[in-house]
């Protein structure tokens, strides 16, 4: 496509001979051409996407653009010998997609070995056997590999490959695995025997995600025991009732396990207790009651997901022992199962649980060593914070997503150990006023670094709260520039009193970088301004 937006007619043979004129064009979107043009583009240094098409193709299928420069190529319905031109373009080909090329032979893909920069390849299942013996060594394989299960045995020489996505016949779009050093693999809609090829890749498989493989049987996970470097495993789409988790006990380095879509009652969770290296576990909410007494001793983080949640949000790791738990999109009664796990819950994060009621937080009183609590996604106007007064070890509390003025923070003033509170989203003056006189509060955060607090509060309300909480010394604020300036001015003009040592109080006000540059010159009179760093 040219700068003026016109699509060049590059299917004409005459254009092939004049291809050098494309050097001067700013080809930001790419170039759609026929297979004959491939060998004539060596001087098009700014070209980012090339789509050679055969005579039967009417619409180009653009390749995925390689974000770090280089050239992405999509071959559609071209003759097999078109591939031989790729190494002669004078450009580093980083991504190659091949569609509907029916005349491939045993040596058709051999030219790929002369493309040392190739980092991403998409081929159809019929072409996969041809890759055997034609594997390339990528210089910096930061992207990935999309192939079907048949390719598994042919990749032993691809030592720089970092992501592999074998797909079944019904899969139209690859679901890339997360990158976790060495080789990450995502199996989608493949047959169970595909798993057996993983140990034969000649590579250390660190992360494995298995999606929609319904024919798993009792021994289907046995090949994982031949992947001694496996650290992360995901079984998604529901665990079949015929599968056994026992082989996981022999995956000595397995540290993270996600069981998505539910585990049937016929599948025992007892093997989890013998996974000695397991540190992170993610399960569906319906499976949580079955984990009573079934958690491995070394487990540090537990994620529990509702039916609408597709990706786990792992809780922060509590650094001094105990269990960290995150609940995502679950019903309120899920909280009641935490005390039955037989583990000390020290950190709890609750996301998007809109059906919390006045008594929903009562089960937290059965977790006497709860130290850190997050309620995210908005605090329902029906909830009561009174049960928190009976959590004697609670130190950190985060209420994210807004606190309606119908919810009183007054119970927090009766939490004996609470000294750090974060409020983000809408925080009206009435909510701040209800926190007045909180005796142990040392640090108050309004907003967070990701997004500002909605300016439902005023500088006057913030100042009243600071004056009434005599131990408060650290104030973190993310709001509009006008509100930030107003808070600083109000605090400087207020009589903040004296601290417990009889010295005049100093408030350390931390704000994001942009606001810090505006306010740093205005500090003084008991207020010091700092840049809020994550």
Summarised one tens digit per residue, pLDDT across range 398-427 is 998 888 888 899 999 999 899 999 998 888
Residues 316/331, Cβ–Cβ less than 8 Å? no
Residue 170 pLDDT > 60:
yes
Task: Give the tokens for residue 513.
Answer: 């970088």
Where does the pLDDT of residue 136 fall: very low under 50, low under 70, confident under 90, or very high at 90 and above?
very low
Residue 454 pLDDT > 70:
no
Residues 64/72, Cβ–Cβ less than 8 Å? yes
Residue 442 pLDDT > 90:
yes
Where does the pLDDT of residue 455 fall: very low under 50, low under 70, confident under 90, or very high at 90 and above?
low
Residues in CB range of 361: below 8 A, 6 or more apart: 335, 383, 384, 385, 387, 388
DSSP letter at 350 equals E
**Of the listed ranges 188-197, 360-369, 425-434, the one predicted with least confidence:** 188-197
Task: Give the tokens for residue 224.
Answer: 């994982």
Where does the pLDDT of residue 445 fall: very low under 50, low under 70, confident under 90, or very high at 90 and above?
very high
Task: Give the tokens for residue 476.
Answer: 């973190």
Task: Give the tokens for residue 531.
Answer: 């840049």
Distance between CA 73 and CA 32 in Å, rounded? 10
Task: Give the tokens for residue 318.
Answer: 């509590």
pLDDT of residue 154: 43
Q: For the chain, give the percent of residues with pLDDT over 90.
A: 45
pLDDT of residue 5: 43
What angle, rounded to 10 degrees, do the helices at 459-468 and 481-493 form? Answer: 40
Q: 78 or 233: whose pLDDT is higher?
A: 233
Residue 359 pLDDT > 80:
yes
Q: Which CATH class is domain 144-278?
A: alpha beta
pLDDT of residue 404: 87
Residue 279 pLDDT > 70:
yes
pLDDT of residue 406: 87
Which residue has 């993610």 as its token pair?
282
Which residue has 């908005």 as its token pair?
378
pLDDT of residue 74: 86
| Strand (E) or helix (H) holding 18 | none
Task: Give the tokens for residue 139.
Answer: 């210089």
Task: Give the tokens for residue 389.
Answer: 């007064």
Residues 156/136, Cβ–Cβ less than 8 Å? no
pLDDT of residue 109: 67
Distance between CA 115 and CA 135 in Å, rounded? 10
Q: For the chain, give the percent of residues with pLDDT over 70.
A: 80
Task: Give the tokens for residue 443.
Answer: 């640090």
Residue 356 pLDDT > 70:
yes
Q: Roughly how many angstroms between the first and final C-alpha of the chain, as a whole number? A: 43
Summarize the confidence of residues 322-333 as an average pLDDT. Answer: 95
Residue 158 pLDDT > 60:
no
Summarize the confidence of residues 107-127 as an average pLDDT. Answer: 60
Radius of gyration of the chain from its Cα atoms, rounded to whole angstroms: 30
Where does the pLDDT of residue 40 fall: very low under 50, low under 70, confident under 90, or very high at 90 and above?
low
Distance between CA 377 and CA 442 in Å, rounded? 25
Residue 30 pLDDT > 90:
no
Q: Which of 124, 42, 123 is nearest to 85 (CA)?
A: 42
Q: Which of 228, 236, 232 is nearest to 211 (CA)?
A: 236
DSSP letter at 492 equals H
Residue 272 pLDDT > 90:
yes
Summarize the confidence of residues 20-25 as an average pLDDT. Answer: 32
DSSP code per residue over 344-361: -EEEEEEES-TT--TTTT
Residue 8 pLDDT > 80:
no
Whether the CA torsion 195, 201, 205, 208 is positive or negative: it is negative
Q: 9 or 198: whose pLDDT is higher?
A: 198
How confident is the prediction for the chain on average, in pLDDT? 81
**Of the listed ranges 192-206, 219-233, 245-259, 295-309, the one predicted with least confidence:** 192-206
- pTM of structure: 0.76
Where does the pLDDT of residue 481 fall: very low under 50, low under 70, confident under 90, or very high at 90 and above?
confident
User: Checking phi first, is residue 521 left (phi over 0); if not, alpha (psi -120 to 50) or beta?
Assistant: alpha
């Amino acid at each position: 496509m040219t700068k003026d937006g016109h699509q060049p007619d590059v299917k004409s043979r005459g254009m092939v001979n004049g291809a050098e004129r494309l050097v001067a064009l700013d080809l930001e979107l790419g170039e759609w051409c026929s297979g004959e043009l491939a060998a004539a583009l060596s001087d098009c240094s700014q070209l980012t996407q090339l789509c050679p098409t055969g005579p039967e193709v009417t619409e180009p299928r653009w390749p995925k653009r390689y974000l770090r420069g280089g050239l992405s190529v999509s071959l559609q319905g071209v003759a097999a010998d078109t591939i031989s031109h790729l190494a002669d373009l004078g450009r580093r080909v980083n991504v190659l997609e091949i569609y509907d090329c029916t005349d491939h032979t045993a040596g058709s893909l051999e030219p790929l070995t002369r493309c040392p920069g190739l980092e991403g390849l998409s081929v159809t299942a019929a072409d996969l056997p041809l890759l055997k013996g034609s594997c390339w060594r990528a210089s910096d394989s930061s992207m990935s590999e999309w192939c079907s299960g048949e390719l598994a045995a042919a990749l032993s020489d691809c030592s720089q490959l970092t992501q592999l996505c074998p797909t079944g016949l019904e899969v139209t779009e690859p679901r890339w695995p997360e990158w976790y050093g060495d080789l990450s693999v995502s199996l989608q809609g493949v047959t169970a025997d595909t798993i057996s090829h993983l140990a034969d890749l000649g590579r250390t498989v660190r992360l494995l995600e298995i999606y929609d493989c319904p024919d798993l049987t009792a021994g289907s996970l046995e090949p994982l025991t031949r992947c001694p470097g496996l650290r992360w495993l995901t079984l998604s789409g529901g665990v079949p009732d015929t599968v056994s988790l026992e082989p996981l006990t022999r995956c000595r380095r397995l540290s993270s396990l996600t069981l998505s879509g539910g585990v049937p009652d016929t599948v025992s969770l007892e093997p989890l207790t013998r996974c000695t290296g397991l540190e992170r576990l993610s399960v569906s909410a319906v499976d949580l009651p079955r984990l009573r007494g079934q958690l491995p001793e070394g487990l540090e983080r537990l994620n529990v997901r509702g039916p609408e949640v597709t990706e786990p949000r792992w809780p922060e790791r509590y650094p001094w022992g105990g269990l960290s738990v995150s609940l995502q999109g679950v019903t309120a009664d899920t909280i009641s199962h935490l005390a039955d796990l037989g583990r000390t819950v020290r950190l709890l994060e609750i996301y998007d649980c809109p059906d919390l009621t006045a008594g929903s937080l009562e089960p937290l009183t059965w977790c006497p060593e709860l130290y850190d609590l997050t309620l995210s996604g908005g605090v329902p106007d029906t909830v009561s914070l009174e049960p928190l007064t009976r959590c004697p070890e609670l130190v950190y509390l985060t209420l994210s997503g807004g606190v309606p003025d119908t919810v009183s923070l007054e119970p927090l003033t009766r939490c004996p150990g609470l000294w750090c509170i974060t409020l983000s989203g809408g925080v009206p003056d009435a909510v701040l006023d209800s926190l007045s006189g909180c005796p142990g509060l040392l640090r108050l955060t309004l907003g967070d670094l990701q997004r500002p607090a909605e300016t439902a509060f005023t500088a006057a309300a913030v100042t009243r709260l600071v004056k009434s909480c005599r131990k408060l010394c650290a104030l973190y604020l993310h709001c509009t520039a006008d509100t930030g300036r107003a808070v600083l001015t109000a605090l400087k003009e207020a009589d903040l009193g004296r601290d417990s040592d009889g010295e005049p109080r100093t408030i350390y006000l931390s704000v994001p970088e942009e606001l810090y540059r505006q306010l740093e010159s205005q500090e003084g009179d008991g207020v010091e301004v700092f840049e809020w760093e994550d």
